[in-house]
Structure 1
Amino acid sequence: MGGLSPIHILIFAVIAILVLGGGRFSNLMGDVAKGVKQFKKGMADEDEDGHKPAARLEAKKSADPAFDRDGAPIREERP
């Protein structure tokens, strides 16, 4: 109730094409495609300009355990 079903979306799309006209809708979609291509090209150009991607963080080595599983110290305590 109140939601848009696929049939409603299809009817809305058909009405939009009729109102805007087929050529106008086609031109609009072409402009969107050109924008996406320009965006991808711009993202590729940034990589080629010498900008390195951000360095990945390296994980620190895990600490050695101070006690074994029985609770006995493995290494000497530091003063």
Structure 2
Amino acid sequence: MGSFSIWHWLIVLLIVVMVFGTKKLRNMGQDLGGAVKGFKDGMKDGNEAENKQVTESSALDSKPTIDVDAKEKR
């Protein structure tokens, strides 16, 4: 009662194709694919930038640190 058979899904698919048309569905699929690809590239670039920051910060940690006392100017 709660699950749909393959025939139900085929009828729904047929109705969707009739309403939107194949050209519009193809364009929507290309747009969705481009968005997913852009997201993956963004995540990949973010990881590279994060790794670069970690490398730079570890290089800075190896330099000697100078402690200074700040005094108020009168």
Please give the TM-score of this superposition, normalised by the length of structure 2.
0.63
Indicate the percent of aligned positions where both proteins have the same amino acid: 37
- For 1:60-71, what aligned pairs fall within 5 Å after superposition? none
In terms of fraction of residues, the more helix-rich structure is: 2
State the superposition RMSD in angstroms: 1.1
Q: Which runs of 5+ in 1 are unaligned?
A: 53-79
Counterpart position of 1:38: 38
1:30 is aligned with what amino acid? Answer: Q
Range moving further from structure 2, 4-13 or 32-41? 4-13
> Radius of gyration: which is bigger?
1
Runs of 4+ that moved beyond 2 A: none
Aligned pair count?
51
Shift of 1:35: 0.8
Aligned to 1:22: 22
**Structure with the larger RCO, 1 or 2 (CA within 8 Å, 6+ apart):** 2
